[in-house]
Amino acid sequence: MSEPIDTTELGEKIVNVLKTIYDPEIPVDIYELGLIYDVFVNEDYDVKILMTLTTPNCPVAETLPLEVEEKVKSLNDVNDAEVEITFDPPWTQELMSEEAKLELGML
């Protein structure tokens, strides 16, 4: 039987993958933008990502969640991935990291 995977380590790998995905309208990755609300990993290494979009009528509303799912599924340790979109709470600039605000000249 293979060695169990450390879910904390897997969580870090998932975050690293999320940091490679960018909002096409804002030159900052979706993680630093604050679009990722939560990442859940169960004992079967199924991943559920709770995320939002900058606006409900965001032009990438159809494609961005699929890109997130596909990139997370591409990790060897991930069995499956699912993205759930929520607008509660709605995204605001307050959710952006200091790094993102600096990148966008907001600091």
Where do the structural domains in the chain lie, given as residue ranges?
A: 7-91
CATH class of this structure's domain 7-91: alpha beta
Whole-structure pTM value: 0.90
Each residue of 61-98: pLDDT tens digit? 889 999 999 999 999 999 999 999 999 999 999 999 99
pLDDT over threshold 80, residue 14: yes
Mean pLDDT across the chain? 91
CA 12 to each of CA 19, 87, 107: distance values in angstroms, whole numbers, following the listed order:
11, 25, 27
Answer yes or no: is pLDDT of 102 > 90. Answer: yes
96 touches 32 (CB < 8 A): yes
Q: How many residues does the chain have?
A: 107
Residue predicted with more confidence, 91 or 3: 91
